Amino acid sequence: MVSKERLQEFGLFFYLFAINFEVYDPFNSGFLSIAKIAAGFYLFTVLPDLNKFLFVDNIAKYLKPKVLLLFSMTIMSLINFDSYSLPSSLFDFTFALNIIIWIILINHERLSPGIIKRGLLFFILGSIILTLFYHLNIGVRYEGGRVTILGDNQNAIGSRISISILIIIFSVYTWWVSGKKVFALMLLTSIPLMLSLMLETGSRKAVIALVLSFIIGIIFLRTKKNSHKILIILIACFCTLYFISMLSGSEILMKRLLATAEDGDLAGRDRIWTAILPVIFENPFFGVGQTGFYQFSKETFGAYNSPHNVILEVLAYTGILGLILYLNFLIKVIRTTIQNYSINKDILPLLLLIPVFGFILGGQALGSKISWVIFAFAVSRIFYFIPKMEKIE
Protein backbone atom coordinates (compact mmCIF):
# COMPACT_ATOMS: atom_id res chain seq x y z
CA MET A 1 0.00 0.00 0.00
CA VAL A 2 1.29 3.49 -0.90
CA SER A 3 2.05 5.57 2.17
CA LYS A 4 0.49 9.03 2.52
CA GLU A 5 3.98 10.56 2.41
CA ARG A 6 4.61 8.97 -1.00
CA LEU A 7 1.20 10.15 -2.19
CA GLN A 8 1.97 13.69 -1.03
CA GLU A 9 5.32 13.54 -2.79
CA PHE A 10 3.63 12.39 -6.00
CA GLY A 11 1.05 15.18 -5.62
CA LEU A 12 3.80 17.78 -5.42
CA PHE A 13 5.68 16.36 -8.41
CA PHE A 14 2.49 16.15 -10.48
CA TYR A 15 1.66 19.76 -9.64
CA LEU A 16 5.09 21.07 -10.64
CA PHE A 17 4.98 19.03 -13.84
CA ALA A 18 1.49 20.32 -14.71
CA ILE A 19 2.41 23.99 -14.34
CA ASN A 20 3.83 23.76 -17.87
CA PHE A 21 0.27 23.10 -19.10
CA GLU A 22 -1.35 25.83 -17.06
CA VAL A 23 -4.25 26.62 -19.39
CA TYR A 24 -4.66 23.29 -21.21
CA ASP A 25 -8.21 22.05 -20.67
CA PRO A 26 -8.28 18.39 -21.83
CA PHE A 27 -12.04 18.04 -21.22
CA ASN A 28 -13.04 21.36 -22.86
CA SER A 29 -14.84 22.25 -19.65
CA GLY A 30 -13.94 25.91 -19.85
CA PHE A 31 -12.38 25.97 -16.40
CA LEU A 32 -10.70 22.64 -15.55
CA SER A 33 -7.09 22.82 -16.73
CA ILE A 34 -4.42 20.17 -16.09
CA ALA A 35 -2.73 22.53 -13.62
CA LYS A 36 -5.96 22.99 -11.64
CA ILE A 37 -6.52 19.23 -11.53
CA ALA A 38 -2.96 18.75 -10.26
CA ALA A 39 -3.38 21.49 -7.64
CA GLY A 40 -6.61 19.90 -6.42
CA PHE A 41 -4.97 16.49 -6.20
CA TYR A 42 -1.99 17.90 -4.29
CA LEU A 43 -4.29 19.65 -1.82
CA PHE A 44 -6.26 16.42 -1.39
CA THR A 45 -3.08 14.45 -0.52
CA VAL A 46 -2.09 16.83 2.27
CA LEU A 47 -5.54 16.92 3.91
CA PRO A 48 -4.70 14.17 6.47
CA ASP A 49 -1.76 16.28 7.71
CA LEU A 50 -3.22 19.71 7.11
CA ASN A 51 -2.13 21.00 10.52
CA LYS A 52 1.49 20.22 9.64
CA PHE A 53 1.30 21.64 6.13
CA LEU A 54 -0.35 24.88 7.25
CA PHE A 55 2.07 25.55 10.11
CA VAL A 56 3.02 29.23 9.76
CA ASP A 57 5.06 30.19 12.85
CA ASN A 58 8.35 29.96 10.96
CA ILE A 59 7.16 32.01 8.00
CA ALA A 60 4.88 34.54 9.69
CA LYS A 61 6.99 37.55 8.66
CA TYR A 62 6.66 36.54 4.98
CA LEU A 63 2.99 35.59 5.24
CA LYS A 64 1.58 38.65 7.02
CA PRO A 65 2.12 41.19 4.21
CA LYS A 66 0.54 38.81 1.69
CA VAL A 67 -2.53 38.15 3.84
CA LEU A 68 -2.91 41.87 4.56
CA LEU A 69 -2.62 42.61 0.84
CA LEU A 70 -5.38 40.09 0.06
CA PHE A 71 -7.50 41.56 2.87
CA SER A 72 -6.99 45.10 1.52
CA MET A 73 -7.91 43.99 -2.01
CA THR A 74 -11.11 42.39 -0.72
CA ILE A 75 -12.16 45.40 1.40
CA MET A 76 -11.57 47.87 -1.46
CA SER A 77 -13.43 45.58 -3.86
CA LEU A 78 -16.40 45.52 -1.49
CA ILE A 79 -16.35 49.30 -1.12
CA ASN A 80 -16.27 49.81 -4.89
CA PHE A 81 -18.77 47.08 -5.75
CA ASP A 82 -21.75 48.21 -7.83
CA SER A 83 -24.35 46.75 -10.18
CA TYR A 84 -21.82 46.65 -13.02
CA SER A 85 -19.22 44.68 -11.05
CA LEU A 86 -18.60 40.99 -11.46
CA PRO A 87 -19.27 39.05 -8.23
CA SER A 88 -16.18 36.96 -8.98
CA SER A 89 -14.01 40.08 -8.70
CA LEU A 90 -15.01 40.62 -5.06
CA PHE A 91 -12.46 38.11 -3.82
CA ASP A 92 -9.34 36.94 -5.65
CA PHE A 93 -9.60 33.16 -5.20
CA THR A 94 -6.57 32.51 -7.42
CA PHE A 95 -4.38 34.77 -5.29
CA ALA A 96 -5.70 33.17 -2.08
CA LEU A 97 -5.16 29.64 -3.40
CA ASN A 98 -1.62 30.50 -4.47
CA ILE A 99 -0.89 31.72 -0.93
CA ILE A 100 -2.21 28.46 0.53
CA ILE A 101 -0.17 26.31 -1.86
CA TRP A 102 2.87 28.51 -1.12
CA ILE A 103 2.48 27.74 2.60
CA ILE A 104 2.04 24.01 1.88
CA LEU A 105 5.13 23.91 -0.36
CA ILE A 106 7.31 25.53 2.31
CA ASN A 107 6.09 23.11 4.95
CA HIS A 108 6.59 20.18 2.59
CA GLU A 109 10.24 21.25 2.37
CA ARG A 110 10.38 21.49 6.18
CA LEU A 111 8.97 18.00 6.58
CA SER A 112 10.91 16.45 3.67
CA PRO A 113 14.17 18.38 3.14
CA GLY A 114 15.12 18.72 -0.53
CA ILE A 115 11.63 17.91 -1.83
CA ILE A 116 11.16 21.17 -3.78
CA LYS A 117 14.52 20.89 -5.56
CA ARG A 118 13.66 17.31 -6.55
CA GLY A 119 10.24 18.50 -7.60
CA LEU A 120 11.80 21.07 -9.92
CA LEU A 121 13.13 18.14 -11.97
CA PHE A 122 9.52 17.28 -12.76
CA PHE A 123 8.92 20.90 -13.72
CA ILE A 124 11.86 20.52 -16.14
CA LEU A 125 10.34 17.27 -17.42
CA GLY A 126 7.10 19.11 -18.19
CA SER A 127 9.06 21.77 -20.09
CA ILE A 128 10.86 19.09 -22.09
CA ILE A 129 7.57 17.42 -23.03
CA LEU A 130 6.14 20.81 -24.05
CA THR A 131 9.27 21.31 -26.17
CA LEU A 132 8.70 17.94 -27.83
CA PHE A 133 5.11 19.00 -28.58
CA TYR A 134 6.53 22.01 -30.38
CA HIS A 135 9.01 20.01 -32.44
CA LEU A 136 6.36 17.36 -33.23
CA ASN A 137 3.81 20.08 -34.11
CA ILE A 138 1.32 18.95 -31.45
CA GLY A 139 -1.08 21.71 -30.37
CA VAL A 140 1.07 24.32 -32.11
CA ARG A 141 -0.34 27.56 -33.52
CA TYR A 142 1.23 30.84 -34.61
CA GLU A 143 -0.19 34.20 -33.61
CA GLY A 144 1.51 37.25 -35.06
CA GLY A 145 4.49 35.10 -36.01
CA ARG A 146 4.90 33.85 -32.40
CA VAL A 147 4.37 30.24 -31.46
CA THR A 148 1.78 29.18 -28.90
CA ILE A 149 1.20 25.62 -27.67
CA LEU A 150 -2.11 24.28 -26.35
CA GLY A 151 -3.51 27.81 -26.29
CA ASP A 152 -1.06 29.14 -23.71
CA ASN A 153 0.34 32.67 -23.66
CA GLN A 154 3.65 33.03 -25.51
CA ASN A 155 5.32 35.01 -22.73
CA ALA A 156 4.24 32.46 -20.13
CA ILE A 157 5.65 29.60 -22.21
CA GLY A 158 8.89 31.45 -22.89
CA SER A 159 9.39 32.38 -19.24
CA ARG A 160 8.76 28.85 -17.97
CA ILE A 161 11.18 27.43 -20.54
CA SER A 162 13.84 29.97 -19.52
CA ILE A 163 13.35 28.98 -15.87
CA SER A 164 13.81 25.29 -16.73
CA ILE A 165 16.99 26.07 -18.68
CA LEU A 166 18.33 28.06 -15.71
CA ILE A 167 17.64 25.20 -13.31
CA ILE A 168 19.45 22.75 -15.58
CA ILE A 169 22.48 25.02 -16.14
CA PHE A 170 23.04 25.85 -12.48
CA SER A 171 22.30 22.36 -11.17
CA VAL A 172 24.60 20.56 -13.61
CA TYR A 173 27.73 21.36 -11.59
CA THR A 174 26.14 19.90 -8.43
CA TRP A 175 25.04 16.77 -10.28
CA TRP A 176 28.43 16.42 -11.96
CA VAL A 177 30.54 16.61 -8.78
CA SER A 178 28.12 14.26 -6.99
CA GLY A 179 28.69 11.58 -9.64
CA LYS A 180 25.46 12.00 -11.65
CA LYS A 181 27.34 12.76 -14.87
CA VAL A 182 25.11 10.79 -17.25
CA PHE A 183 22.00 12.43 -15.80
CA ALA A 184 23.59 15.87 -16.14
CA LEU A 185 24.57 15.26 -19.76
CA MET A 186 21.08 13.98 -20.63
CA LEU A 187 19.46 17.19 -19.40
CA LEU A 188 22.11 19.37 -21.04
CA THR A 189 21.25 17.88 -24.44
CA SER A 190 17.67 19.12 -24.06
CA ILE A 191 18.74 22.77 -23.81
CA PRO A 192 19.18 23.48 -27.58
CA LEU A 193 15.67 22.16 -28.25
CA MET A 194 14.24 24.21 -25.40
CA LEU A 195 16.08 27.31 -26.56
CA SER A 196 14.57 27.05 -30.03
CA LEU A 197 11.07 26.94 -28.52
CA MET A 198 11.79 29.87 -26.20
CA LEU A 199 13.03 31.99 -29.11
CA GLU A 200 10.03 31.09 -31.27
CA THR A 201 7.66 32.39 -28.56
CA GLY A 202 9.17 35.81 -29.24
CA SER A 203 9.22 36.52 -25.51
CA ARG A 204 11.64 39.35 -24.84
CA LYS A 205 11.39 39.12 -21.09
CA ALA A 206 12.20 35.39 -21.20
CA VAL A 207 15.39 36.05 -23.19
CA ILE A 208 16.43 39.03 -21.06
CA ALA A 209 15.81 37.09 -17.82
CA LEU A 210 17.82 34.11 -19.09
CA VAL A 211 20.75 36.26 -20.22
CA LEU A 212 20.86 38.30 -16.99
CA SER A 213 20.57 35.20 -14.80
CA PHE A 214 23.27 33.39 -16.79
CA ILE A 215 25.75 36.28 -16.55
CA ILE A 216 25.13 36.90 -12.85
CA GLY A 217 25.24 33.17 -12.11
CA ILE A 218 28.57 32.62 -13.86
CA ILE A 219 30.12 35.61 -12.07
CA PHE A 220 28.97 34.63 -8.59
CA LEU A 221 28.96 30.82 -8.89
CA ARG A 222 31.19 29.33 -6.19
CA THR A 223 33.15 26.17 -6.93
CA LYS A 224 35.34 23.90 -4.81
CA LYS A 225 38.36 24.43 -7.06
CA ASN A 226 39.59 27.41 -9.09
CA SER A 227 40.21 25.08 -12.04
CA HIS A 228 36.49 24.24 -12.03
CA LYS A 229 35.59 27.95 -12.22
CA ILE A 230 37.97 28.49 -15.15
CA LEU A 231 36.47 25.51 -16.98
CA ILE A 232 32.95 26.78 -16.32
CA ILE A 233 33.85 30.23 -17.70
CA LEU A 234 35.28 28.67 -20.86
CA ILE A 235 32.14 26.56 -21.33
CA ALA A 236 30.02 29.66 -20.66
CA CYS A 237 31.85 31.55 -23.43
CA PHE A 238 31.12 28.73 -25.89
CA CYS A 239 27.46 28.64 -24.78
CA THR A 240 27.21 32.41 -25.24
CA LEU A 241 28.45 32.19 -28.82
CA TYR A 242 26.00 29.35 -29.54
CA PHE A 243 23.12 31.34 -28.04
CA ILE A 244 23.99 34.44 -30.07
CA SER A 245 23.96 32.37 -33.27
CA MET A 246 20.51 30.97 -32.38
CA LEU A 247 19.21 34.41 -31.41
CA SER A 248 20.37 35.98 -34.67
CA GLY A 249 18.47 33.27 -36.53
CA SER A 250 15.17 34.07 -34.80
CA GLU A 251 13.53 36.66 -37.05
CA ILE A 252 10.49 37.35 -34.87
CA LEU A 253 12.49 37.83 -31.67
CA MET A 254 15.14 40.01 -33.33
CA LYS A 255 12.38 42.23 -34.71
CA ARG A 256 10.80 42.60 -31.27
CA LEU A 257 14.12 43.27 -29.53
CA LEU A 258 15.10 45.88 -32.15
CA ALA A 259 11.69 47.52 -31.86
CA THR A 260 12.18 47.81 -28.11
CA ALA A 261 15.73 49.16 -28.43
CA GLU A 262 15.03 51.63 -31.24
CA ASP A 263 11.45 52.77 -30.63
CA GLY A 264 10.84 51.77 -27.02
CA ASP A 265 8.08 49.42 -28.22
CA LEU A 266 6.59 47.43 -25.33
CA ALA A 267 3.85 45.62 -27.27
CA GLY A 268 1.21 48.12 -26.14
CA ARG A 269 2.01 47.82 -22.43
CA ASP A 270 3.17 51.45 -22.26
CA ARG A 271 -0.21 52.63 -23.59
CA ILE A 272 -2.04 50.50 -21.02
CA TRP A 273 0.18 51.84 -18.22
CA THR A 274 -0.43 55.44 -19.30
CA ALA A 275 -4.18 54.83 -19.49
CA ILE A 276 -4.49 53.45 -15.95
CA LEU A 277 -2.40 56.15 -14.25
CA PRO A 278 -5.44 58.44 -13.71
CA VAL A 279 -7.27 55.86 -11.59
CA ILE A 280 -4.10 55.42 -9.49
CA PHE A 281 -3.61 59.19 -9.02
CA GLU A 282 -7.27 59.67 -8.09
CA ASN A 283 -7.11 56.90 -5.46
CA PRO A 284 -3.45 56.95 -4.35
CA PHE A 285 -3.67 55.56 -0.83
CA PHE A 286 -6.16 52.68 -0.91
CA GLY A 287 -6.91 52.04 -4.59
CA VAL A 288 -10.26 50.95 -6.01
CA GLY A 289 -10.13 47.18 -5.56
CA GLN A 290 -10.63 44.69 -8.35
CA THR A 291 -14.28 45.70 -8.80
CA GLY A 292 -13.41 49.37 -9.23
CA PHE A 293 -10.59 48.57 -11.63
CA TYR A 294 -12.82 46.24 -13.64
CA GLN A 295 -15.34 49.05 -14.10
CA PHE A 296 -12.58 51.53 -15.02
CA SER A 297 -11.10 49.05 -17.49
CA LYS A 298 -14.46 48.47 -19.20
CA GLU A 299 -15.02 52.21 -19.57
CA THR A 300 -11.47 52.85 -20.81
CA PHE A 301 -10.68 49.80 -22.97
CA GLY A 302 -14.15 48.40 -23.66
CA ALA A 303 -13.31 45.22 -21.71
CA TYR A 304 -11.18 44.08 -18.80
CA ASN A 305 -7.50 44.64 -19.58
CA SER A 306 -4.74 43.47 -17.26
CA PRO A 307 -2.17 46.15 -16.30
CA HIS A 308 0.65 43.72 -17.24
CA ASN A 309 2.65 45.15 -14.36
CA VAL A 310 2.17 43.97 -10.79
CA ILE A 311 3.39 47.24 -9.28
CA LEU A 312 0.70 49.20 -11.13
CA GLU A 313 -1.83 46.41 -10.54
CA VAL A 314 -1.30 46.54 -6.79
CA LEU A 315 -1.40 50.35 -6.82
CA ALA A 316 -4.71 50.28 -8.72
CA TYR A 317 -6.24 47.68 -6.40
CA THR A 318 -4.92 48.79 -3.01
CA GLY A 319 -2.96 52.00 -3.47
CA ILE A 320 0.28 52.89 -1.72
CA LEU A 321 -0.73 50.82 1.33
CA GLY A 322 -0.89 47.63 -0.74
CA LEU A 323 2.32 48.43 -2.60
CA ILE A 324 4.18 48.80 0.70
CA LEU A 325 2.90 45.37 1.77
CA TYR A 326 3.89 43.77 -1.55
CA LEU A 327 7.36 45.33 -1.58
CA ASN A 328 7.83 44.31 2.06
CA PHE A 329 7.28 40.69 1.05
CA LEU A 330 9.62 40.94 -1.94
CA ILE A 331 12.42 42.54 0.07
CA LYS A 332 12.22 39.80 2.71
CA VAL A 333 12.38 37.08 0.05
CA ILE A 334 15.37 38.72 -1.65
CA ARG A 335 17.20 39.09 1.68
CA THR A 336 16.58 35.41 2.42
CA THR A 337 18.04 34.27 -0.91
CA ILE A 338 21.09 36.51 -0.45
CA GLN A 339 21.62 35.14 3.05
CA ASN A 340 21.25 31.59 1.72
CA TYR A 341 23.87 32.29 -0.97
CA SER A 342 26.22 33.76 1.63
CA ILE A 343 25.91 30.77 3.97
CA ASN A 344 25.33 27.82 1.66
CA LYS A 345 26.90 29.01 -1.62
CA ASP A 346 23.54 28.18 -3.23
CA ILE A 347 22.87 30.71 -5.99
CA LEU A 348 19.93 29.02 -7.74
CA PRO A 349 17.08 30.48 -5.58
CA LEU A 350 18.50 33.97 -6.08
CA LEU A 351 18.83 33.54 -9.85
CA LEU A 352 15.30 32.18 -10.21
CA LEU A 353 13.95 35.44 -8.77
CA ILE A 354 15.14 37.25 -11.92
CA PRO A 355 12.52 35.63 -14.22
CA VAL A 356 9.96 36.29 -11.48
CA PHE A 357 10.80 40.00 -11.68
CA GLY A 358 9.97 39.67 -15.39
CA PHE A 359 6.48 38.50 -14.40
CA ILE A 360 6.25 41.37 -11.89
CA LEU A 361 7.33 44.15 -14.26
CA GLY A 362 5.74 42.87 -17.45
CA GLY A 363 3.23 40.20 -16.59
CA GLN A 364 0.84 38.87 -13.94
CA ALA A 365 2.90 37.49 -11.06
CA LEU A 366 -0.01 37.48 -8.59
CA GLY A 367 -1.58 34.58 -10.48
CA SER A 368 1.56 32.96 -11.88
CA LYS A 369 1.93 29.50 -10.33
CA ILE A 370 5.63 29.13 -11.12
CA SER A 371 6.33 32.49 -9.47
CA TRP A 372 4.77 31.22 -6.24
CA VAL A 373 6.74 27.98 -6.47
CA ILE A 374 9.95 30.00 -6.76
CA PHE A 375 8.90 32.18 -3.81
CA ALA A 376 8.31 28.99 -1.80
CA PHE A 377 11.69 27.58 -2.88
CA ALA A 378 13.38 30.84 -1.84
CA VAL A 379 11.68 31.16 1.56
CA SER A 380 12.18 27.47 2.38
CA ARG A 381 15.93 28.10 2.41
CA ILE A 382 15.46 29.39 5.98
CA PHE A 383 15.47 25.77 7.11
CA TYR A 384 19.08 25.44 5.97
CA PHE A 385 20.65 28.36 7.80
CA ILE A 386 18.72 28.61 11.05
CA PRO A 387 20.08 25.77 13.21
CA LYS A 388 17.48 26.17 15.95
CA MET A 389 14.59 25.61 13.58
CA GLU A 390 13.25 22.12 14.07
CA LYS A 391 10.62 20.03 12.37
CA ILE A 392 7.18 20.06 13.92
CA GLU A 393 6.26 16.42 14.02
Task: Tell me, rounded to whole angstroms, the distance of Cα 236 from its chain centroid.
Answer: 25
pLDDT of residue 251: 81
Q: How many CA atoms lie within 13 A of 328 on its CB side?
A: 16
pLDDT of residue 126: 97
pLDDT of residue 223: 77
Per-residue model confidence as pLDDT tens digits over 98-109: 999 999 999 999
| Contact by Cβ (8 Å): 45, 186 | no
Domain assignments of the chain as residue spans, ordered by start: 4-384
| Contact by Cβ (8 Å): 91, 317 | no
Question: CB-based burial of residue 28 (10 Å sphere; 0-12 exposed, 13-18 middle, 19+ buried)?
Answer: exposed
Query: Residues in the chain with pLDDT < 50?
Result: 388-393
pLDDT of residue 392: 40
Per-residue model confidence as pLDDT tens digits over 326-352: 999 999 999 999 999 999 989 999 999
Please state, in angstroms and rounded to a whole number, the distance separating the CA atoms of residues 390 and 57.
12
Please state, in angstroms and rounded to a whole number, the distance separating the CA atoms of residues 232 and 218.
8
Q: How does DSSP assign 302-322, residue by residue? A: SS----S-HHHHHHHHHHHHH
Please state, in angstroms and rounded to a whole number, the distance separating the CA atoms of residues 123 and 118.
9
Question: CB-based burial of residue 37 (10 Å sphere; 0-12 exposed, 13-18 middle, 19+ buried)?
Answer: middle
pTM here? Answer: 0.93
